[in-house]
Structure 1
Amino acid sequence: MGRSSVRGGGAGRHRGGGGDRASDLGWDDSLYEGGDGRRLSTPPRQRSYVPGDDDDEYDDYEGEPPRKKRRWGLWLAATLAFLIFGTAGAGWLYYRHLNANLGKKPLNIGTGSQVDKKPPNAAGQSELNILLLGSDDRSSEANQKLGGARDTANQKPRADVQMLIHASADRSNMSVVSIPRDTMVNIPECQDPETDEVYPATYDRINTSLQHGGPGCTVATWTKMTGVHIDHFMMVEFEGVVSMADAVGGVPVCVNQNVYDKKSGLKLTAGTHDVVGKQALQWVRTRYAWGSDLGRAEAQHMYLNAMVRELKAGTKLTDPGQLMDLAEAATKALTVDPDLGTVKKLYDLGNDLKRVPTGRITMSTMPVLPDPNNPDVTLVENKPEAAKLWQLLRDDSAFDGKDKKKAKKKTAPTGTAHPTGDVPVTVYNGTGFNSEGPVPGRAAAVVASLQGLGYGQADTNSTPRPMADTSITYGSPEEQADALALAKAIGLPDRAVKEAKGTETVTLVVGADWRTGNTYPKTAGSEAPEKAPDSADLLNGEDDEKCMEVYAPYRW
């Protein structure tokens, strides 16, 4: 495309206006010494180099000596673009061959880390959650060439890039959340399905969760943290990723200054450029030039959005040979859960996700804080801010806030509520989604309380249905008034009451947020957020005007 126009003019997209991102954050160039730009001390949002740690993540392509624990990210953009847009043309050409390329691993191997999937809405539609993982596996020669660190070839890989994709039930919007690799999290107990080895629960960086039995433990870690049911995962290695980028063609990215990051090898002049192959890999692996891991996540979001826009515009993948190359590279690079383990299922998923309008795709990064125990190296979840993201996901509400009118719209109940004694109510114990485990007999205790309120037909169902949030569902419009009356009786907010296809009676699932008492706690029932917080660094799928701000030591 030959783009070279300069966008942003140094203003960038970070809060606080124009100018130098580093100076805006109070960073000083004197933090760097020597010619390699290594940070010797750092502000809270920038991870520092620690001898023996994994900060030196790049080999350049001119033979820089191998270093430990490289990181990468191109898998994300190429894989999602392949799933949404690339599969339809190539998927059936070599069906059996491509199916054989796909690796398969169990979805969730955590102990007590499963969350029940919500029933379909009144229209029979179900939301969809997919966890994208990037493995730094260097067991193959090709992966070692791309990622370096041959001396770590026998080590267990880590999931250095992680993003959760949430497609709304009606496919009107999509929300994507990244978590920085060095975020400290609670990793639940996991059992490796191949060796039966049990990995005890621990507190560690989220990228190490992959080493606890495979991708199923990373899924379990996300589930425990978010309370979101995850339907599928996709994990990609280095090998084939560059080939995928070559098959797709160039993707436009923008920098507001000339940039040269010796660690990744990325060197661009100010303006917009189409990056492909090795240069695309350099773009999504770059961290130092953007100032932090959070900047790298932002660059990956920019790349992914641009790829989606290019593919939707029809400027890519018009050649059958190009489609075949993409399908071959993508399937070789992918490991998925068994329920997503054929090209047809990927094809169907791609067609399904393709319905989401580009303008309703919102990228975000989980809000984080410096780790109090190691502020220069690791991060922790900013719980009050991150909780808003998780609540939006669990409520199937868009990050962009455009669903707020729909959420606030009240539908008048059909008819009036029946006498409590005439309303069958089924109660489930969903308190198992909690680090303390389920509350024994919780459903029976709530049933006893309901019977005291006149609900003589209330009864328990012993099937486990672990959920983060307490909810009431009903199966037909005629039951809406009864469901709302039940919610009022126990102090549950109306937003937790929803029609669900296939629900036979008014159903109450007592979630992990209501472990004791006869009435729902008011603190748990506070108003749900209308949109994602600004601290999540939101980026809209149609935003093609943003440029990455280059940290001063990496300008030339």
Structure 2
Amino acid sequence: MGQSSTRGEGTRPRVPGPGRPGRDDGLSAGSPGTDRPGPGGPAGGRRSHKQQTPRRRARRGKRRILRWVAGAAALLIIGTAGAGYLYYRHLNGNLQKSALNLGAHQVPKPTANAAGQTPLNILLIGSDARDSKENQKLGGAKSTFGGLPLADVQMLLHVSADRSNMSVISLPRDTVLKIPKCTDENGKTYAATGWTLANESLGRGGPGCTVATWESLTGIHIDHFMKIDFSGVVSMADAIGGVPVCVDANVYSHTRDGHGSGLKLKKGTTSVKGQQALQWLRTRYGFWPDTDVVRTKAQHEYMNSMVRQLRKGTKLTDPGKLMDLAESATRALKVDNGIGTVKKLYDLAGELQKVPTSRITMTTMPNVNSVRPGFEEKVDPKAGDADKLFAMVRDDTPLDGKGAKKKKPAEKVSDDPAAPKGDIGITVRNGTAGDGGLPSKGRAGEIATLLTGQGFARAAADQTLDPQKNTEVLFPSADLEGDAQAVAKAMGVPLKSVKKSTQVTGVTVVVGSDWRTGTVFPKSTADDGKTPDSANALHGDDESACMNVDKAYTWTA
């Protein structure tokens, strides 16, 4: 379990085990973008059916196809997924399909708004499978051939209920979490895991287990998934024709011991396509500070640039190229059964196309270095910030800060009067390991001392560890609610954190992982409608993005 998943691009044991490392330089879940309806051509004069020549009918057919495909190109924003009705039956046959969610417990759909609309959540999965000659050539690392695939790129795309905005959350592949029980479509069951890496979910029954893992982690209902592999990214990037990306210095992602994606670019902006696009999306060694997290930033730059490029109408205007893209996209994708036809993908494209580029926001799950033994080089969700980001998506709050401010509900004050401070018995417990990390030593004693200093003479530390994420003040019966609220006010803890519990016998303070240090309770920003700074938000219309190159990977032209 303690092995590193960052040994280098394309390296991992042949036979995967429960704690095997993830592969490096994972591919992007896809290359997004949308397009406006393509040109249909002039109507021309009327002809009878008999007068129409085969050539003219063919031209009209091509124009119709072009219109269909240009509209469906909106799906490029979620993995270069669809290309309309081209060769409808043939393309349907290309699509691979499987069950949406293989987990035992699933998050219910959100309640519709007043207009009857619900948000749309799509999980994009990039697989590093070396399961074909083409993928083996692109992925390298012969020792990995035939091994279980890893979900090395995972992005949740959230489209608001009113289709006015879109949010993307990337989950670093080295995130430490627990994978729930999954049962594949053949009936094979994979038991729930202990702490492990996020990218291992794909090898436990398929994309449906990755979906189940996301729902377990975030509490967000997922409507669809799309999975793509190395060769799919290359073929679709070729068909699209190039995406501008920027580096602030010459970069060559290559190390003496053979690690690196192989990306070699000059300082400034370069249009990348094909294998070079894949290299950009996989690069870790070269972008400062050479972490899996910074790789998601490069992927966001690529995706936003793709969207802008296609919406300018400068790409995909040739029917032949559109046919190539359609063929490549449908062969490269695996989708859930709910969107398993080109018609359904086309309809989905129509929903995505409604979102303006300026209202697209790319983020990465806020994270910190893991404190769990054996996972020191990996990352944990950042307490508070990660929860807030997930909650904003659950509540359909725009991540670009342009949503209407929600009125905070007034805190309910108990009718039960509080006893004098000196008469209130208080037990304080240490719950700071609630985020999965190690508990902060002596934390219960520190808060007990804080309370006695404020006049609560009967406050005492309990050595019992009671891990939980959020600090709470618990009380067993209605006649102690006023006392519990008085204690909460003295500490600066919001009254919503005062709760009745049959698990305590008196007023009990459990200091959660949201208050690991200090004597002033951290001010909550959970309801301010602002995306945490630690999410590194990048907006769709920001053309200034440019990757910071690690000086160790520069070269002289």
- Using structure 1 for the length normalisation, give the TM-score: 0.66
Q: Deviations over 1:38-58 (max 9, x none)?
A: xxxxxxxxxx995xx552215
Name the counterpart of 1:270: 267
Name the counterpart of 1:69: 23
How far, CA to CA, are the matches of 1:302 and 1:155 in structure 2? 31
Return the offset for 1:529. 3.6
Does the C-alpha gap of structure 1 residues 131 and 368 become closer, same or farther in structure 2, counting only changes over 3 Å?
same
Q: 1:555 is matched by which residue type in structure 2?
A: T
Query: Is it true that 1:377 corresponds to 2:344 in the alignment?
Result: no
Name the counterpart of 1:222: 214
SS at 1:327 equivalent: helix
Name the counterpart of 2:91: 98
Return the offset for 1:69. 3.4
Name the counterpart of 1:289: 286
Does the C-alpha gap of structure 1 residues 260 and 197 become closer, same or farther in structure 2, counting only changes over 3 Å?
same
How far, CA to CA, are the matches of 2:388 and 2:170 in structure 1? 14
Q: 1:196 is matched by which residue type in structure 2?
A: K
Name the counterpart of 1:55: 7
Q: 2:180 is matched by which residue type in structure 1?
A: P
Contact between 1:174 and 1:356, CA under 8 Å: does it hold in 2?
yes
Name the counterpart of 1:84: 74
Does the C-alpha gap of structure 1 residues 375 and 49 become closer, same or farther in structure 2, counting only changes over 3 Å?
closer
Give structure 2 stretches of 5+ with no counterpart: 12-20, 36-71, 255-259, 410-484, 486-497, 503-511, 515-523
Q: 2:396 is matched by which residue type in structure 1?
A: D
How far, CA to CA, are the matches of 2:358 and 2:501 in structure 1? 43
2:102 aligned to which of 104, 109, 130:
109
Contact between 1:72 and 1:281, CA under 8 Å: does it hold in 2?
no
Q: Deviations over 1:84-109 (max 9, x none)?
A: 25689942121111111111111111
**After alignment, is 198-207 or 168-177 more displaced?**
198-207
How far, CA to CA, are the matches of 1:79 and 1:174 in structure 2? 13
Q: 2:314 is matched by which residue type in structure 1?
A: T
1:156 aligned to which of 148, 152, 158:
148
Name the counterpart of 1:212: 204
SS at 2:302 equivalent: helix
SS at 1:164 equivalent: strand
Name the counterpart of 1:447: none
Name the counterpart of 2:248: 256
Name the counterpart of 2:444: none
Q: 1:358 is matched by which residue type in structure 2?
A: T
Contact between 1:167 and 1:174, CA under 8 Å: does it hold in 2?
yes
Contact between 1:128 and 1:168, CA under 8 Å: does it hold in 2?
yes
SS at 2:271 equivalent: strand
Contact between 2:176 and 2:195, CA under 8 Å: does it hold in 1?
yes
Return the offset for 1:379. 1.1
Return the offset for 1:274. 0.6
| Aligned residue runs from structure 1 range 351-366, under 5 A | 351-366=350-365
Does the C-alpha gap of structure 1 residues 128 and 376 become closer, same or farther in structure 2, counting only changes over 3 Å?
same
Does the C-alpha gap of structure 1 residues 68 and 104 become closer, same or farther in structure 2, counting only changes over 3 Å?
same
Name the counterpart of 1:124: 116
> What percentage of aligned pairs have identical amino acids?
52
Q: 2:96 is matched by which residue type in structure 1?
A: G
Does the C-alpha gap of structure 1 residues 514 and 317 become closer, same or farther in structure 2, counting only changes over 3 Å?
farther
Return the offset for 1:75. 3.8
How far, CA to CA, are the matches of 2:115 and 2:321 in structure 1? 38
How far, CA to CA, are the matches of 1:348 and 1:536 in structure 2? 31
Contact between 1:182 and 1:206, CA under 8 Å: does it hold in 2?
yes
Name the counterpart of 1:201: 193
How far, CA to CA, are the matches of 1:169 and 1:122 in structure 2? 10
How far, CA to CA, are the matches of 2:552 and 2:147 in structure 1? 33
Q: Deviations over 1:127-159 (max 9, x none)?
A: 000100011111111111111123322211010
Return the offset for 1:199. 2.5
Does the C-alpha gap of structure 1 residues 221 and 80 become closer, same or farther in structure 2, counting only changes over 3 Å?
farther
Structure scoring higher RCO (CA < 8 A, sep ≥ 6) equals 1
Q: Deviations over 1:436-464 (max 9, x none)?
A: xxxxxxxxxxxxxxxxxxxxxxxxxxxxx
Name the counterpart of 1:19: none
Return the offset for 1:514. 8.8
How far, CA to CA, are the matches of 2:553 and 2:82 in structure 1? 41
Does the C-alpha gap of structure 1 residues 99 and 293 become closer, same or farther in structure 2, counting only changes over 3 Å?
same
Name the counterpart of 1:301: 300
| Aligned residue runs from structure 1 range 537-548, under 5 A | 537-548=536-547
Name the counterpart of 1:532: 531
How far, CA to CA, are the matches of 1:379 and 1:264 in structure 2? 22
Q: 1:327 is matched by which residue type in structure 2?
A: A
Does the C-alpha gap of structure 1 residues 90 and 224 become closer, same or farther in structure 2, counting only changes over 3 Å?
closer
Q: 1:151 is matched by which residue type in structure 2?
A: S
How far, CA to CA, are the matches of 2:117 and 2:22 in structure 1? 46
Name the counterpart of 2:323: 324
Return the offset for 1:409. 10
Query: Is it true that 1:246 corresponds to 2:238 in the alignment?
Result: yes
Name the counterpart of 2:125: 133
**After alignment, is 187-196 or 88-97 more displaced?**
88-97
How far, CA to CA, are the matches of 2:499 and 2:311 in structure 1? 45
Q: Deviations over 1:476-530 (max 9, x none)?
A: xxxxxxxxxxxxxxx9xxxxxxxxxxxxxxxxxxxxx99968xxxxx99995241
Name the counterpart of 1:340: 339
SS at 1:185 equivalent: strand
Name the counterpart of 2:456: none
Contact between 2:109 and 2:221, CA under 8 Å: does it hold in 1?
yes
Q: Deviations over 1:391-434 (max 9, x none)?
A: 101110001111143x3499xxxxxxxxxxxxxxxxxxxxxxxx
Does the C-alpha gap of structure 1 residues 154 and 400 become closer, same or farther in structure 2, counting only changes over 3 Å?
same
How far, CA to CA, are the matches of 1:539 and 1:68 in structure 2? 26
Q: 1:73 is matched by which residue type in structure 2?
A: L
SS at 2:230 equivalent: coil
Q: 2:272 is matched by which residue type in structure 1?
A: V
- Using structure 2 for the length normalisation, give the TM-score: 0.66
Q: 2:532 is matched by which residue type in structure 1?
A: P
How far, CA to CA, are the matches of 1:265 and 1:320 in structure 2? 32
SS at 1:235 equivalent: strand
Return the offset for 1:74. 3.8
Aligned length: 400
| Aligned residue runs from structure 1 range 543-554, under 5 A | 543-554=542-553
Contact between 2:27 and 2:229, CA under 8 Å: does it hold in 1?
no
SS at 2:136 equivalent: helix
